[in-house]
Amino acid sequence: MTRLLLLTDSDVGRLVGSAESVDVVERAFADFGLGRTDMPPKVYLDFPLQRGDLRVMPAAVGDRFAGVKLINSHELNPSRGLPAVVGTYVLFSQETGIPLCLMAATTLTALRTGAASGVAVRHLARPGSSTLGLIGAGAQAPYQFRAVAGELPIAETIVWAPDSDAERRDSFIQAMSQAHPKVAFRAGSLQEAAAADVLCTTTPSRSQLFPAGSVRPGAHINAVGADGPGKQELDPALLRGARIVVDEIHQAVHGGEVNVAISQGLMQEGDIAGTLAGVINGSLPGRTSDSQITIFDSTGLAIQDIAVAILAYERALENGTGSTIDL
């Protein structure tokens, strides 16, 4: 008899927090850089009329587990009262190929995306950075804050969102102010948010949001929103003047923050300094001066997903979380 463990989004959220997500995702990046993982390219199934897509993301780590995530990105869903991103993860045994766990992957995705930003500031941001600019107040915003604030002494967070999301922005600020009373949260303009020590961009934008001059010398940027061809949040002039580190070169060139600038001939693949794995493993220098602007181009890797999925699965077994079905 084969029993399949089922974990809901709420289960995953209770089992795994931001701090441990940063640690396991950092190890996943390190293993990726050392060739200890297997990660075929992400597959996109595009639905242009619906302004969405479905992504298939397989990965294997070590010699025990393999997994695949199926996840959508639909820009119009919030206007329908639906989440923009909904995911499902299946974790398999490498030994038998039998599925071990089926888990909701929306919270998992939010955790691992925030965690990558936490890893990036751990290795690229100036120590002591105390102001955070959040551009976008959607589902990813609290995960970005918690991951970054777990690594840096953030005292003030400036939040920008388009006017259409003003109510959501204000609700986010109120909730986060109550949860983190030592941090001052406030709404601000794009320029105010962009002038923070650390900046996280999490919008579905297809054009630059602010000019390069809005960013102060020495800032670090987690460019998260651009995760498909044609998406763009940053001024190409900002990219050309910064030290850019990506999660994976080919995926970034295809659909990361750098994809538009490269496709328009405004920069070249060779302008990318290298990968976050290289910085973690010491083969690539990170920040080279206090005045340098650093950018982490985060497209989202399947190794991040499986790292958090394994942690959730093992913790669920330890404390009896979830339900099972007979396959």
- Cα–Cα distance, 165 to 171 (Å, whole number): 10
Question: Does 69 participate in catalysis according to the annotation?
Answer: yes
Alpha carbon distances (Å) from 175 to 141, 145, 172, 186, 243: 12, 12, 5, 12, 34
Structure tokens at 249: 């070169």
| C-alpha–C-alpha distance, residues 146 and 148, integer Å | 6
Q: Residues 6 or more apart from 16 whose CB is under 8 A from it? A: 108, 111, 308, 311, 312, 315
Residue ranges of alpha helices (H) inside 42-140 are 106-124
Site of tokens 């979380």: 321
Structure tokens at 105: 């992957």
CB distance 132 to 149 below 8 Å: yes
Distance CA 250, CA 192 (A): 33
Tokens 């990105």 belong to residue? 73
- The CA distance from 242 to 264, in Å, is 18
Is residue 117 a contact partner of residue 194, using CB atoms and an 8 Å limit? no
Catalytic choice (42, 69, 182, 231)? 69
Phi, psi of 219 (to 5 degrees): -75, 160
What is the phi/psi pair of residue 133, to 5°? -105, 120
Strands across the sheet containing 243-246: 184-187, 156-160, 131-135, 198-201, 220-223, 294-297, 243-246, 274-275
Q: Which residues are marked as active site?
A: 69
